Amino acid sequence: MRYSRRGIVALGLAAALFALPACSSSANDDDGGSSGSDTEVEVFSWWAGPGEKEGLDAMIADFAKKNSGIKFNNAAVAGGAGTNAKTVLATRLQAKNPPDSYQVHAGLELASDIEAGYVEDITYLYDQQGWKEKFPKGLIDAITVDGKLYSVPVNIHRSNLLWFNPATLQKAGITAAPKTWDEFLTQAATLKSKNITALSIGPGWTQEHLLENVLLGELGTDKYTGLWNGSTDWKSAEVTAALTKYTKILGFTDLKSAAADWQPALDKVVDGTAAYNVMGDWADGYLKGAKALKFKTGYDVVATPGSEGVYNFLSDSFTLPVGAPHKGAAEKWLVECGSIEGQDAFNPQKGSVPARTDADKSKYTDYLAAALTEWQSPSTKIVGSLAHGVVANNAFKGEIDTALQIFVQDNNVAKFADAVAKAYAANK
Amino acid sequence: MRRTSSKARRRLRAWGPGLLLVSPSLILLGIFVYGFLGWNVRVSFTSWRGQTPVYDWVGTRNYSELFDNERFQIDVRNLAVFTFVFIGGSLLLGFLMAMLLEKGVRFEAFFRSVFLFPMAISFIATAIIWRWLLNNGSGESTAGLNKLFENIGLGFLFSDWHKTPSSWAIAAIALPAGWALSGYVMALFLAGLRAVPEELKEAARVDGAPERKVFWHVVRPMLLPVLMSAVVILAHISMKTFDLFYAIDQGNLRIDTPALYMWFTTFQPGFFARGATIATLLLFGIAAVIVPYIWWSVRTERRK
Amino acid sequence: MRAVLKTGRYLALFLLVCFFLMPVYALLVTALKDPASVSVVRMWELPSTFSLENFRIVWPDLQEGFVNSALLAVPASLISAMLGAANGFVLSKWRFPGADFAFPLILFGMFIPYQAILIPMYRTMQSANLVGGLDGLIIVHVIYGLPITTLIFRSYFTGLSDEVIEAAKVDGAGMLRTFFYVALPIAPPAFAVALIWQFTSAWNDFLFGVLLTSREFWPITVALNNIAGGQTVPFNQAMASALLASLPTLLVYVLLGRFFMRGLMAGALKG
């Protein structure tokens, strides 16, 4: 080895040091542009994976058409129903280095950001665009905080849906999907004797998703809403009864070998191993698309037992952070989010209904058409989802998550109710 | 006077440059490690909840609340189970592999590379494939390792893995973790075994000792430092492991650990004080294992 | 008897190889299947038709991250190894009063959980104007790599005989000359260990990468996470990406592998 080792090392170091300036040059273009040129907009979301990003891509394309001078910086980070994105976001917001806009579930999920002064009051945008007339009143009410509006909802998903395979019900001799949870329990006993799992379940959040719809079905809309704003007592007899029923229902699920994710849980319904599954309407996109099934024949859906005529909603929305580097561009993005074209580009791809009431109905077929009609009907009662950030702020929901994980293992109703009540009081 | 000052200057010139060379590292680590840890400790004594930093003082309330916190208790138990199975398994497997290779086999380089390569793969990629391997579908939807067992006639080994309703569920994750790190343990043991001077072993053999006594009395004591080194590294990896649990099945209480709880409770509901408390406790746990070891190893070195 | 033991040994080794390669088999087979026939239930079956379609689909998404990760991992590991060598040398052979204290202080940095220091680290980097590009990320990896590289080199140099150092001193060499002309020339195995470790660590990091860089500088782990960590995971793409993303580190292992063993045997990671 005659070549000089020192030479090699020196060369390596030189190469390394050379790379450094090259890396930093572009970086310094981004920072410091506070009132900067509105030539780009950095938007944060967790819609990065296939099955989620098509909707966003469609809306971005429409945005690009209308705003050709603005470069769209799609900073989507997937993972953990947003935990990765939220971590990056929280860190940046605290360091006062926000993106131009970020995705958040409409409702109380935004509460802590509002409290910390991270998001701008965009009621002026609503007034400008006349959105207060274009979004349903129930929705506006749910996302108004202290009379002000802080986010623009793009879509509406429905949580309280019971999915099933008509063929499986037929084979088991069941004529119709259950209208109450008691009816479900009766059917479940029959199904069990035929070796069919009555209800398939997935990971933790799906169990919370089931819980909220059991509570909704058993307690009705007013008491359900009261659970989250302190007016319903968690330790009252009816809530206790509802929670006990929940444990009974769990007994008829495949909790012991719970599916790894919500799709495999639905797969069990598709192949007949399980009869029912409670899931939001993103299941429609999966069953129609990935599973290539036909609505009504290959799969069907009704409102979860006890919630006929109720829309348990969740909504994805975008915000305007305080100190956004490109505020003008960000506002244009929000306008796009709230526009008919934007929502009609986004929602058919995402498998949700638009928040706006004046959307183009022809773009929504099969299940989505039925959902849209129900969403826009004035007789539909609207309540917010727990599992998806509408009715509980992050702290409260976080504590419920933990308490629920313990609850499904030990079935201790009193302890769970107590934990939730305490969590509410501590995190109001 | 002049004599002592020149002596002092000479001494300074002796070790001064060394100190100077190392000082940037010390300063940087002082900030990036100890400074930030200090921040964690500070926050663990506050009531910071939500997105607005709060730097008040609430005494040890966070700590006592945490010890009463049922999820934390479960996490600690999970961590204990995992650490035990993971370290035990990796040590056994690594040692076995080292013993198999020690005397020299054909294609040793090939075997070594195969056993070592999992270290090169990121935990995210490892988790992607092991999620499938540890799939717990049954009947028609049997998959992963369970399916493999079925195919080769070992169907009775079927397991729900980390979804098993038992406090040992987390032991299932020791499988991918062990897969990733046994190779490293093997390399350590192999190096250690080969470092034992042949003369010592020969001397024992000449004295009439059978091979296993040679191993027990000559080789084993010399492996002690290697064993300790391996245990310490594995232990601290076990406590820090996050990516693997996160990517395989986050939200599953049975494989929840303090590291995961810290992450989730800080960034989702915003319980920064609680997160910092867990972080501080985690740190003390790691320190309790590491510091005595470092102390011991530096002292034995000095004595040599 | 000998023969039985020998066959037993090879059998055991064969079974172990199966255990270690089984996940790779599944990964490879899934990545090579055409998208429609990918399912967790059929993961052990060979592809009915070999198709590179999955790789073709994911490569555009991974391309940018690939380059970024390379621009990150190469400088980071080289600088980190150099600094570790310097530290290791000083702490073992050119000691100063308190060196035995300094070493544990440095070493302890290896054991902190990264999630715990995210917030203060980000704030510090931001005030130093190092957020957004790769330079800040490289610096962070170098800093947090100091403990392990220092450990590697210190353990390695401890094996260096004191007489050689003394001889150099007698010849009038100062610290730097001794370092460059005496210590470094014999250090390649330790460099191999340090480079492998640091390259792997920098290449496989997700957390710091996603936090400290803006989108155009995202390392490959972020792209991998976006494919494999979302709501609906297309497993064929996830496996293909996992394979592609692991190639460089595997390459580094293959190239430097035998030095790695040599380094370990010379005591690079002991104690």
On whether both C130 and C23 belong to a single domain, the answer is no
On whether both C245 and C156 belong to a single domain, the answer is yes
CATH number at residue A268: 3.40.190.10
Q: Which of C11, C26, C51 is the last residue of a domain?
A: C51
Please say whether the beta carbons of A86 and A294 come within 8 A.
Answer: no
Percent of chain A surpassing pLDDT 90: 52
On whether both C211 and C245 belong to a single domain, the answer is yes
On whether both C74 and C194 belong to a single domain, the answer is yes
Give strand pairing partners of A295: A299
On whether both C182 and C64 belong to a single domain, the answer is yes
B15 burial via Cβ count (<10 Å: 0-12, 13-18, 19+): middle
pTM of the entire structure?
0.85
Q: Which residue of C has its CA nearest to A1?
A: C185
C contacts of B29 (beta carbons < 8 Å): 105-106, 109, 143, 146-147
Nearest to C69 by CA among C193, C197, C202: C202
State which residues of chain C have pLDDT below 70: 230-232, 267-271
Total domains in the fold of chain C? 2
C contacts of B17 (beta carbons < 8 Å): 94, 174-176
In a domain, A3, yes or no: no
* pLDDT number for residue A12: 58
Q: Spell out the SS3 assignment of chain A.
A: CCCCHHHHHHHHHHHHHHHHHHHHHHHHHHCCCCCCCCCEEEEEECCCCCCCHHHHHHHHHHHHHHCCCCEEEEEECCCHHHHHHHHHHHHHHHCCCCCCEEEEECCHHHHHHHHCCCECCCHHHHHHHCHHHHCCHHHHHHHEECCEECEEECEEEECCEEEECHHHHHHCCCCCCCCCHHHHHHHHHHHHHCCCEEECCCCHHHHHHHHHHHHHHHHHHHHHHHHHHCCCCCCCHHHHHHHHHHHHHHHCECHHHCCCCHHHHHHHHHCCCEEEEECCCHHHHHHHHHCCCCECCCEEEEECCCCCCEEEEECEEEECECCCCCHHHHHHHHHHHHCHHHHHHHHHHHCCEECCCCCCHHHCCCHHHHHHHHHHCCCCEEEECCCCCCCCCHHHHHHHHHHHHHHHHHCCHHHHHHHHHHHHHHCC
Residues 120 through 149 of chain A touching chain C, CB cutoff 8 Å: none
In a domain, A131, yes or no: yes
In a domain, A33, yes or no: no
Mean pLDDT confidence for A63-86:
83
On whether both A97 and A197 belong to a single domain, the answer is no
How far off is chain C from A182, nearest CA to CA, in Å? 32
Band the pLDDT of A2: cuts 50, 70, 90: very low
Q: How would you classify the pairing of strands A161-164 and A300-303?
A: antiparallel
Look at A258 and B271 and tell me if their CB atoms are within 8 Å.
no
* pLDDT number for residue A14: 60
In a domain, A407, yes or no: yes
On whether both A99 and A213 belong to a single domain, the answer is no
What does the mean pLDDT of chain B come to? 84
On whether both A263 and A407 belong to a single domain, the answer is yes
CATH number at residue C142: 1.10.3720.10
B contacts of C200 (beta carbons < 8 Å): 119-120
On whether both A321 and A249 belong to a single domain, the answer is no
In a domain, A1, yes or no: no
Domain encompassing residue A410: 161-313+387-426
On whether both A286 and A319 belong to a single domain, the answer is no
Band the pLDDT of A81: cuts 50, 70, 90: low
Cα B196 to Cα B226: distance, rounded to the nearest angstrom: 12
Cα A115 to Cα A98: distance, rounded to the nearest angstrom: 16
* pLDDT number for residue B129: 84
Residues 236 through 295 of chain B touching chain C, CB cutoff 8 Å: 236, 239-240, 242-243, 247, 259, 262-263, 266, 272, 275-276, 279, 282-283, 286-287, 290-291, 294-295
Q: Which of C51, C67, C92 is the last residue of a domain?
A: C51
On whether both A300 and A331 belong to a single domain, the answer is no
Q: What are the CA-CA distances from residue C3 to residues B111, B247, C7, C42 (Å)?
A: 20, 45, 6, 40
pLDDT greater than 50 at residue A32: no
C contacts of B188 (beta carbons < 8 Å): 264, 269
Domain encompassing residue C40: 1-51
Q: The domain B30-303: what is its CATH number?
A: 1.10.3720.10
Give strand pairing partners of A151: A319
- Partner residue facing C135 (CB), from A23, A77, A286: A23
In a domain, A128, yes or no: yes
On whether both A342 and A416 belong to a single domain, the answer is no
On whether both A299 and A414 belong to a single domain, the answer is yes
How many interface pairs between A and C have CB atoms less than 8 angstroms apart?
Answer: 131
On whether both A186 and A146 belong to a single domain, the answer is no
Decide if A420 touches B, using CB distance below 8 A: no
On whether both C129 and C110 belong to a single domain, the answer is yes
On whether both C78 and C31 belong to a single domain, the answer is no
In a domain, C270, yes or no: no
Decide if A322 touches C, using CB distance below 8 A: no
Residue A298: how many other CB atoms lie within 10 Å: 15
On whether both C8 and C47 belong to a single domain, the answer is yes
In a domain, C271, yes or no: no
On whether both C130 and C8 belong to a single domain, the answer is no
Decide if A267 touches B, using CB distance below 8 A: yes
On whether both A308 and A325 belong to a single domain, the answer is no
What's chain A's Rg over C-alpha atoms? 24
Give per-residue pLDDT as tens, B31-85: 999 999 999 999 999 998 888 888 999 888 999 999 999 999 999 999 999 999 9
Decide if B131 touches A, using CB distance below 8 A: yes
On whether both C246 and C208 belong to a single domain, the answer is yes
At a CB cut-off of 8 Å and minimum separation 6, what does C51 contact? C32, C33, C34
- Partner residue facing B271 (CB), from A117, A395, A405: A395
Decide if C79 touches B, using CB distance below 8 A: no
On whether both A232 and A215 belong to a single domain, the answer is yes
Decide if C259 touches B, using CB distance below 8 A: no
Give per-residue pLDDT as tens, A311-334: 999 999 999 999 999 999 999 999
Cα B3 to Cα B159: distance, rounded to the nearest angstrom: 78
Decide if B54 touches C, using CB distance below 8 A: no
Total domains in the fold of chain A? 2
Nearest to B15 by CA among C89, C175, C102, C86: C175
On whether both C181 and C95 belong to a single domain, the answer is yes
In a domain, A16, yes or no: no
On whether both A225 and A169 belong to a single domain, the answer is yes
On whether both C46 and C63 belong to a single domain, the answer is no
pLDDT greater than 60 at residue A252: yes
Ranges of each domain in chain B = 30-303
In a domain, A29, yes or no: no
